[in-house]
Amino acid sequence: MSAQHPQHPLPVVSLGLGPIGLRLASRIAAQSGVDLVAGVDVDTERTGPDLGLLIDRPELSIPIYATLDQVAQTGGVVIQATVSDSVIAAEQMLQAIALGWNVVSTSEQLMFPAPHDAELIARVDAAARAAGVSVIASGINPGFLMDSLPLMLTAACVSVDHVHVKRVVDTDQRRVQLQEKAGVGLSRSEFEARRTAGRLGHVGLRQSAGLLAAGLGWTIDEYVETLEPVIADRPTDTGLGKVPEGGVLGQHQTFEAHADGRVVITYDLEMSAGAASVDHIHIDGDPTISQSITNGVNGDIGTIAVISNLVPVVAAAPPGFLTMADISPLHSRR
C-alpha cells in the first residue's frame, strides 16, 4: 500500500505516553477517519491492554507495548511524542519507517533540522522514500505559530523585507511541566544557574527561523539569542504558588536572524505567570501585514491539534522526510 493511498480508517499508534502523548492518544481516539490501534512506551509498567483506561475510554481495548514491532497492524501513522533530541528521535523514526509506518513527531529539533544533522536526516529521508512513507515533525511552536503561519501569510506579499513574530504565553494557563520549564518560582540565582547549564529556554526558535528563512529564500549567516528572567515587581500568585517580589515569573527569549547583512527575522517569546497572552506577526514588505491573535493560541491544545490534524495529511503526502513548508508550500517568492 503506497503512502498516497492511505488505508481507511487509518491505523494510528501513539508512541510515547507522557502528558502530551496521552492527550494526543485521547484526541486520536475521538477523531474520525483514524483508528487508535496501540500505544507504545518504554516504561514497561504501562504495558498491557489499558490505553483506553489512561484516556478515559475504558470501552476501548487498546494494548500498550514496550516496542513498536509488537504492534500487529502496520501501514498507518505513528505519532511520536517522546523526545526533542534529534538523534534519538530520528533513530526511533528509522525503526517506525522500517516497519512501514508514516511518522508525525513532536520533536522540536526535527521540525527543521540543524545543519549538523544533515547526514542523519538524509538517512531518514532515504529510508522513508524506500519504504514509501513520509515523516514530519511539528507542533504549535515550533511548527505553526512562529513559522508555517507567518510563512503562509507572506503569500499575500510580492516582497518581504523582515518578519517579526511575538508570542506571549501566560504560563498559568499551561501544564505544570511547562510552568517549571519556564522557570516560574525560581530565585534569580537559580535562574542564572539553570540558564548557564542550558536547562532553560524554549527549544525551537532556531528551527522556526530556519523554516521561515528557507521558504523566503534567505541564507542565515548569523543569529543572536538572548534569554532573561521575567522578575516579579510585587508578590504574585502563580500556578506554582506565590512568587515573592524579585523572584522569577518566567522567561523572555529573543532571537535575531541575519541574512545579506541585515536582520530578516526577529522573534520575541515571553512565557511567564500572569502575562497577557497574544500572538503577533508583523511582516514588513509589499504589502506590510500586521496580524494579532487575541489571547494567543493555547500551546498544549494547539500542539494536540496540529499533530493530530497532520495525521491524514502526512499519510497522503509524497514519501520522504518533510518539513511544514512541503505540507503547505504557498508563501512569498522572490
Which positions lie near its own copies, rule CB under 8 A?
27, 31-33, 140, 144-145, 148-149, 152-158, 217, 286-287, 289-295, 297-298, 301-302, 304-306, 308-313, 316, 324, 327-334
In one letter, which amino acid is 104?
Answer: V
Q: Compute CA distances 238 → 112, 235, 304, whole Å.
A: 33, 10, 24
CB 64 within 8 A of CB 95: no
User: Considering the complex, what minimum distance in angstroms separates the CB of residue 324 from its own copies?
Assistant: 8
Roughly what angle, to the nearest 10 degrees, separates helices 19-30 and 299-316?
60
Name the residue nearer to its own copies (CB basis): 26 or 86.
Answer: 26
| Closest separation in Å from C-beta 141 to its own copies | 10
Rounded least distance, CB 189 to its own copies, Å: 36
Q: What is the spatial distance between Cα 254 and Cα 131, in angstroms, rounded to a whole number?
A: 40
Nearer to its own copies by Cβ, of 146 and 230: the residue is: 146
Q: Choose between 58 and 287: whose C-beta lies nearer to its own copies.
A: 287
Q: Whole-number minimum distance, CB 294 to its own copies, in Å?
A: 4
Long-range contacts of 213-216 (CB under 8 A, 24+ apart): 213/257, 213/259, 213/264, 213/265, 214/112, 214/323, 214/325, 215/151, 215/154, 215/325, 215/331, 216/151, 216/154, 216/160, 216/163, 216/264, 216/331, 216/332, 216/334
CB nearer to its own copies: give 141 or 236: 141
Exposure b/e, 171-181, CB count within 10 A at least 16 = b? bbbbeeebbeb
Cβ nearer to its own copies, comparing 120 with 140: 140
Distance in Å, CB of 172 to its own copies, minimum: 16
Nearest approach, Cβ of residue 215 and its own copies (Å): 11
Give me the least distance between CB of 105 and its own copies, in Å please: 15
The CB-of-212 to its own copies minimum distance in angstroms stands at 15
Nearer to its own copies, 128 or 304 (CB): 304
For 116, counting Cβ atoms within 10 Å of its Cβ (0-12 exposed, 13-18 middle, 19+ buried), the class is exposed
Q: Which of 315, 303, 305 is nearest to 10 (CA)?
A: 315
248 or 310: whose CB is closer to its own copies? Answer: 310
Q: Which is nearer to its own copies, 226 or 292 (CB)?
A: 292
DSSP string, 4-37: TS--SSEEEEEE--SHHHHHHHHHHHHSTTEEEE
